[in-house]
Amino acid sequence: MQERDLRQRFTRRLAMGVFSVAAIGAALLGVLHRTEAHPHPLSLLMPWVLFGLASGALLATWLLRTRTRLVVYLFIIAMIGLLALSAIVFLPLANSPDGPRLTEVFPPALPGLISMNLIAIAFLPPRLALRLGALSWLVVGLPVMIHLLLHPAELATARGQEMMLLIGPTMAPILGLIPYQQEVARRLTDLRRNELLARTLADRDPLTDLYNRRAFENLLIDRLAEARSGMQLILFDIDHFKRINDSHGHGVGGQVLVAVAARAASALSRGDHLARWGGEEFAVLARIPLDQPLALAERIRATIADSPFDSVGKVSASFGVTAVHASDTPQAAFERADQALYRAKESGRDRVVLA
């Protein structure tokens, strides 16, 4: 959760920076167009439309803290529409009998086409970025390229060569980055999945699939670091487990451990934690019932002892219980619970003792 929040904050701040730069650039472009001798009305209008889009996207990103990618997506769609409008207006104008050259009147929209695709690569999933990139090239880049190829005199000019360079050799590797980005994202996902699996395996007992001792100790340390109170630590040990192994074999003994773990887990409430402490010993970290501090341990004890187990008959366990306070150390809490467990065994087993 914390990692996701950090990623969302980073994405949001990056998007706000991009939209701020886009708004400033659009405003400067609008001012520069006003210095032209005979600017086309659309050339005067488009920069300020872009300024409004970028400013609106900046505000939306600030207000909608968790919807940054949606804002970026809508901004890119609006940009494609704005660029397509340039092609729709200026290409027929340049193809008219007495019209001006496209290289003379077409606004500097092609760098915006490249910038828009870089934004899509940075913020959107690779497949969606590729689709938007292809769409923008089809509605803007391809028509301009066809016009230049059909008008060699315009292509021979410096502006025509620059436009062709932006549409082809520059745009192609940018779109080629998207499959590479997709592969990198896939590999990172696999690495995170493998890391999570390795961490899970490291924290689990392979026989019972409960927390192991190391994971349980870390859990208790975390709870104490959070200064949590109102907790109890329960240690319990299967009575005469060596006798079960000697009489029925270690395979049956393993089955008993799994069955005891399942019965103990069924007696717990949500938020309680059960671990295999080692051998035939288990540990529980749970909330303390306000009026009955031994109620949970008694419930686990009864769940284990009341019904016979297959192949071995009745199995019982002894319990040591202690309250855990925020001022405790893990070692002190475990020592108290272990002493209570020892007294439970000394006093006849199959019982619960409070430290």
**Sheet of 231-238, strands arranged across:** 273-278, 281-287, 231-238, 317-324, 352-354
Query: Do the beta carbons of residue 146 and residue 94 sit within 8 Å?
Result: no
- The interaxial angle of helices 126-136 and 110-123, nearest 10 deg, is 170
Least confident of 15-29, 78-92, 96-110, 171-185: 171-185
Q: State mean pLDDT over 168-180.
A: 75
Query: Quick one: pLDDT at residue 290?
Result: 61
What are the b/e assignments for 120-142, b being 16+ CB within 10 Å? bbebbebeebbebbeebbebbbe
Which of 85-94, 128-137, 191-200 shows the lowest per-residue confidence on average (mean pLDDT)? 191-200
Nearest to residue 267, comparing CAs of 291, 239, 313, 236? 236
d(CA 12, CA 20): 12
3-state secondary structure of 299: helix
Task: Name the pairing type of β-strands 317-324 and 352-354.
Answer: parallel
Catalytic, 280? Answer yes
- pLDDT > 90 fraction of the chain, expressed in percent and rounded: 42
The pLDDT value recorded for residue 3 is: 60
- Residue among 143, 147, 171 at smallest CA distance from 157: 147
Tokens of 128: 């969606």
Provide the pLDDT for residue 38.
72
Task: Quote the CA–CA distance of 13 and 21 in Å, as a whole number.
Answer: 12
Of 280, 281, 298, 335, the active-site residue reads: 280
Question: 155 near 142, Cβ under 8 Å?
Answer: no
Contacts 24+ apart (CB under 8 A), 202-206: 205/275, 205/276
All residues at 6 or more sequence positions from 142 whose CB lies less than 8 Å from its CB, including other chains: 167
Please tell me the pTM assigned to this model.
0.54
Confidence of residue 347 (pLDDT cuts 50, 70, 90): very high
The domain made up of 213-354 is a member of CATH 3.40.50.150: no
Q: Per-residue pLDDT averaged across 147-168, rounded?
A: 90
Give pLDDT tens digits for 263-317.
999 999 888 999 999 899 999 999 887 668 899 999 999 999 999 998 899 999 9
Where residue 242 falls among pLDDT bands split at 50, 70, 90?
A: very high
**Apex CA 333: angle with CA 287 and CA 231, to 5°?**
10
For residue 141, pLDDT over 70 is answered with yes
How far is CA 251 from its chain centroid?
41
